[in-house]
Structure 1
Amino acid sequence: MAARLPFAERLSYGFGDLGTSLAYNMASGFLLYYYTDVVRLPAAAVGTVFLVARLLDAIIDILVGIAVDRTHSRWGRTRPWFLITALPYAVVTVLVFSVPAGWSQGAQLVFAFVTFKALGLLMSSQAIPYTALMPMMTNDRHERLKLGGMRSVGTSVSVVLGTAATMPLVGLFGGGDLRHGFQAVAALFAVVGLTATAALFHFCRERFEDHASPRFAILPAVRQMLGNRAWLVCFGFCLTYFIRFGLMMSATTYFAIEVLGRPWMISVMLPAVSGMLLLSSFVAPPILARTGLRAGSTAVLAVAAALFGLLPLAENNTALFLALYFLACLATSITITAAFTMIAETVDHHEAQFGVRREGLLSAGVSLSTKVGMAVGTAGFAWLLGAVDYTPGANSETAREAIRWAYYGSAVVLLTLQTVIVLAWPTLRRPAPVPAAA
């Protein structure tokens, strides 16, 4: 039986998600709005910026994962990455929300692409080693579920700050100037993320390591990854989740304004995601420990799909609409703890199948699924806005209906697809990892 991890270490690991996700959540929730309604860039062009930038991560994420597997230092294999990237990531967070006002539209689009791409690169350089760290900290499933639950707490705080707090803080700091407000909030969040990453570096430890040679052929390693059924299921599970998540994060602002006609619900619906993540961080570990990852995830995904299907019937009843929405968010949030644990489990399955762990490479592949998923969801919605001639403050009924059914329909379809994918989760084989030398 593995020793219990110290509480300070579990807490620092969980809140390490602030370092990797806070800027990303702010960008996910408001960068499309910032580009279209503040900077006044065309929605279709912005959608292309999002998609191209994220597709480039297909190469970058794999390279970062390989680099993590080849890293050896007195701080371990993952922790040096937090030390090196923390400050640049904070700086770029501010630059993303600092598109120069006096530039031409073409120059602004180039600036948007370069800074957004830099944000993605630096996020990869933090998120991949962060995900790879969990299986190095413990090989005990119950401890991993606790770490996954604690990470869900950190994720929920990240989403609360990145969504619910953003617009009130923009108003507070901007005093009516949205450009200045967004830039000031980005700077505040950059400092919070920097502090969280520093704590992650200081408190967390690597106890289990891959004793295979750090020099390995890349293509055979990638083929092994693609031959790992657990990894393939985890990739598809996260990809479909984040396509839906990216679309809903981008669409909620427009949905609340144009469809529901209740702008105040933006500050209720977006934080509901984080609030339910916080609640699920306590209920998910015991549920999933009892049901298993496959059965538990299948059940809550089916419930979530049904609840999203009922939402259109409750649009005129705000209390009922929000009750159904909160329950749906709780159900989908339980799958986040499952996903964090599944990622760690793929490493054990890989070692049993191929004799090597490759934490960095496997984490890179899953990180790629999350970013491509977010890109597809965000870009798809941006293109939809362009196709229906979205105009801030002056939209047709056709545009409103497109937003309405994109919001509901995508959720039901993608949750159903995610259910089918998780049914393929295999019975895992478990090697006994050799503890790293003290």
Structure 2
Amino acid sequence: MAEAAVAGQRLSLAERLSYGFGDFGFSLAYNMASGFLLYYYTNVVGLPATAVGVIFLTARLMDAVIDILVGIAVDRTQSRWGRTRPYFLFTAIPYAIMSVAVFAVPDWGLNAQLVYAFITFKALGILMSLGSIPYTALMPMMTADTGERLKLSGMRSVGTSASVVLGTAATLPLVGLFGGGDEQRGFLAVAALFAGLALIAVLALFRNCRERITAPAGDRPPVLPVIGEMLRNRAWIVAFLSCLFYFIRFGAMMAATPYLAIDVLGQPWLISIMLPAVSGTLLLSAFIAPPILARTGIRNGCLGIFAVSAVLFLLLPLAEQNTTLFLAIYIAAALVTSLTITAAFTMIAGTVDYHEWKHGTRNEGVLSAGVSLATKVGMAIGSAGVAFLLGWVDYQPDAVTEVARQAIRWSYYGGAAVLLAIQGVVVWFWPMDGEWKGSSA
């Protein structure tokens, strides 16, 4: 088999780096949007928070169809560049353009601005699907070796980390630098800078990464049976739900952190520490997670991580009056939780092997599309949930009520703990630790 031929093959450093920073290319614009698009829409442009929540949620729910179609297309693509790489080449420039357009809402009437916001946000999501789904599908095509996949997942965590650092920590200082007091101009300039960096990363992914394990060109069953098999793939269901709840929490924290720092803690400068803490710990986890998870297994390792992280989040409100202690607990929680993202990337690749064992086909595109959908819908539910919460408590930036502050505070801490507990229940059913091929799962 092709898999056996490459199972022990070591990937070059250039290939690992290019694969890892492919996530940087696809995630940078999305992390900036996740961290600041709600703030940009409500506080800079002046759009109603509830309307923004509807935009976020509606646009992402529409991805249920779009992502599956992209996955099907990947599984049926045959080109001189392979099955995934042409998508990197042909979506790189449009994606860069649209990542700027979402932060360029024109000075029109309210209804026209809402339409513009929906169209550009939706277009950004479609273009991300066209790039990120083939990107996720690429890993199981590059190598069948679990150790190499863990290294690729670790490098992907580095790329994710770099994208979150720039998309969160650097955004507001750069907005101030480029905008000179004009946030509208500042956000547009930062979006343009990030678009250029992301474009370079995606083109490097196209140039340096190769597909080595692929299904035969003619081995493409009808669509509905493929989707039915996917829904009977227990490993895929666990990976899908785990990613969904991970990114609901992540999206909510990204959107709510500016409000927590400004309106609850009264220290806006914490934004540039709290949001980057997620990315900095992702960078650390990229190196420490693979050996830990290789020893504990995905399921047991993640269950311990979720338990510790939930406890740390519940300790945060007790430390609000001591900024140093608060940040220490927050960073510890972020570090512990970040270990699971490396596990998630490895789980996603593993669903393809499990699918081939159970159904005899690989279908990397469709399987990756489902998990990509979980990522985007999760982020949308998280950020939309924050927007709806702000609308529900009648949040006004210039006159924040105590009711609004309490809603932000307890949804931030308690919501994280609840979602971590749910994610733990999901990962309990992961079937691929140990001698999974000999089981009846």
Q: Which TM-score bucket, shorter chain as reference?
A: over 0.9
Residue 41 of structure 1 aligns to which amino acid in structure 2? L
Aligned to 1:220: 225
Aligned to 2:162: 157
Deviations 1:314-372 (A, max 9, x none): 11111111111111101111000000000000000000000100000000000000111
Distance 1:406 1:98 in 2: 30
Equivalent residues of 2:22, 2:205 under 8 A apart? yes
Deviations 1:230-270 (A, max 9, x none): 00000010000000001000000000001111100000000
Aligned to 1:317: 322
Question: 2:37 aligned with 1:31, yes or no?
Answer: yes
Aligned to 1:404: 409
Equivalenced residue count is 430
Match 1:80 to one of 72, 86, 89 = 86
Distance 1:215 1:233 in 2: 25
1:212 CA drift (Å): 6.2
Aligned to 1:231: 236
Deviations 1:138-193 (A, max 9, x none): 00000000000000000000000000000000011111111110000000000000
Compute the RMSD of aligned alpha carbons: 1.0
Equivalent residues of 1:307, 1:328 under 8 A apart? yes
**Where do 5+ consecutive residues of structure 2 fail to align?**
1-6
Residue 254 of structure 2 aligns to which amino acid in structure 1? M
SS in 2 for 1:341: helix
Residue 26 of structure 1 aligns to which amino acid in structure 2? M
Match 2:105 to one of 75, 99, 102 = 99
Displacement over 2 Å in runs of 4+: 211-216, 427-431
The TM-score, its normalising length taken from structure 2, stands at 0.96
Written as runs of structure 1 = structure 2, the 5 A alignment for 1:230-379 is 230-379=235-384
Distance 2:298 2:220 in 1: 34
Equivalent residues of 2:150, 2:342 under 8 A apart? yes
- Indicate the percent of aligned positions where both proteins have the same amino acid: 69
Distance 2:159 2:165 in 1: 10
Aligned to 2:118: 113
Residue 417 of structure 1 aligns to which amino acid in structure 2? I
Equivalent residues of 1:272, 1:329 under 8 A apart? yes
1:216 CA drift (Å): 2.5
1:394 CA drift (Å): 1.1
1:288 CA drift (Å): 0.4
Aligned to 2:389: 384
Match 1:20 to one of 26, 37, 62 = 26
Aligned to 2:59: 53
Aligned to 1:434: none
Residue 396 of structure 2 aligns to which amino acid in structure 1? T
Deviations 1:86-144 (A, max 9, x none): 0000000111000001x100000000000000000000011100000000000000000
SS in 2 for 1:211: coil
Aligned to 1:435: none
Distance 1:225 1:259 in 2: 44
Distance 1:375 1:40 in 2: 20
